[in-house]
Every structure is written in structure tokens, then in C-alpha cells.
Structure 1
Amino acid sequence: MLRIRLFEQRCVELFDRKFVKGTAHSCEGQEATAVGVCGGGLLTERDFVLSHHRGHGHVLAKGADMGRCLAELGGRRDGYCGGMGGSMHLADLSKGVLGANGVVGASLALGCGAGLAAKYEGKGRVAVAFFGDGASNQGLFHEASSPAPAPMPP
């Protein structure tokens, strides 16, 4: 949690100094959620994580490299998305982080898709979708909360 907090404090400082390309939303105060779900061996690198606009902590808790995360925020080529994703689209596919999203509640629908893919794959993978309280007022929240049961392939 301290690692994420220090990263976020540095990001705020760098944003103020105009190093961060675009915008960046800090996840300060939300570190425990990221670490509680992604850390401590509950999830493996093969499990999927989908995040939101305050997703740096989720990516870091899943084991992403801080330097590459920071490079992404700075728009550098050596960032996780080649510097093109920035803060709100941070992803590390090698760790199962399918990406963050600036659309409120989008992680829920994407998480349903990743979970369904994991179910069909049949290898015990899971998908976790993080969302904030604002997403609970979106149609995506209600649609993702009660998907129709998916038949298993023959």
C-alpha cells in the first residue's frame, strides 16, 4: 500500500509540473482495495483485472513495473501502451490487467466479457472489475449485475 501511495504522490507532483500527458486521477486513499484484491496471492497473473480512471493502484498491486507505469503517464514510448494510453488507459496484459477506462462503469461490462471468456476457457481464471460509486447509477451496472447464464460449450 505504501508503494502505491508513494507512486500516487509522485504522480500528483509530476502532473502539477506538466510531466503527465493528458490528465491523471489519483487513487490516494484507495490503496487498500487494490492490495486486498490484487495482492496477497488471491489473484494470479493469469486472472483478469479491469479498472477505472483511478486505476494506477490496481495495476501496481497486480505487479506492474512502476517505471513503465510512470513512462506511460509521461507519454513515453517505453510505457505499457507505448505512451499512447496515458493514465486512464493503463494496461499490462502480461499481468492480466486488461486496462483502465475513462468511461464510468465500463469495467463492469468488460469484466463480464473477460469472465465469460475465462469460463469458456475452463482453466480456473477469474475476472475482477473495479468500479466507483458513480458507476452504480449507470445502466452498465445493472446489466452487468445480472447477466443471463451463459451455456457452456459442448
Structure 2
Amino acid sequence: MIVRSVCRAIRLTMKAEMLPLPTKEQWESIAAGFERKANFPHCLGAVDGKHIRLVCPFKSGSMYYNYKQYFSVVLMAIADSEYRFVYVDIGSYGKDCDSSVFQRSRLWRSIENENIELPTEKCLPGAMGPQLPHVFIADEAFGLHRNLLRPLTFKFNLTLS
């Protein structure tokens, strides 16, 4: 109990200092990094979840039991182009899918409620087309959204005739 209590106190006290929500300028810097390193403009970060294995908490039922058939909590994170965490949400039940955990995160609620200042929409480099929003990238477990992209899920048949 003492470890849990101390960890909780440290988290509550240091959370804002250790990993604050990025500012508009920091988001712009992250996007510049993705454009420079991966030739991917308007990218604010890569999102994914990781199940952290644990011993079944007392009287938790199946709340922490995940689809991989072990007990876990979910670590949801966003990484920049240098593989550094810029946002972390830890502690969701193992039974929850990545998409649900992300949708309930403080960051995502701020985006949907427009309480966070993301970089302004603009045209892609070298294009005169429409102004496009900045986006996060994620895998197939996540749903599409104006600010969330995921890769194509079908395979191309590239046979040449």
C-alpha cells in the first residue's frame, strides 16, 4: 500500500512538470520533425497502446483481463519523430481497446471540444490545394477522424503484364 500511495502522490504532484500537454508551438515543432525525418507533413505524432502485464487486482473481476488472455493496464502514448513520448495516458482497464482508451483520454476530449490549440490548417508543402488539418497517425485499431489517420488495410496486387 505504501508504494501505491507514494506513486500516486508523485504522479499528482509532478504530472504537469514531467509531461505537460504540448503547446501549439510544440505541436508545430513535432510536425516539422515528421516532415523533415519522414517526409510526412502535418503529422503531430504516432499513437498506440501497450498492455502492461500485472497480477490480477483484488476483487477486480474481468476488468483487467485483456484479449491477449492476461491481466493488464493500458499505456496509451503519442510519440514524436524522435521516438520520444509527448503524451501518455496510463491506467485504463486491460479489457478496453486502444481506440476506446484514446477516445476517453484528456488529450482527445480536448481536441474534440476544441479546447486545445493545434497548429492551424494549411496547404501541403508545394501544393495550392485545400488547407488540411494536422493529424495523428495510428494503426487499424483506431477509428478515422479529422485529426486521426491510419494506414490502408488492403494489399495491392502489383502484378505487371
* TM-score with structure 2 setting the length: 0.24
More strand by share: 2
More helix by share: 1
* TM-score with structure 1 setting the length: 0.25
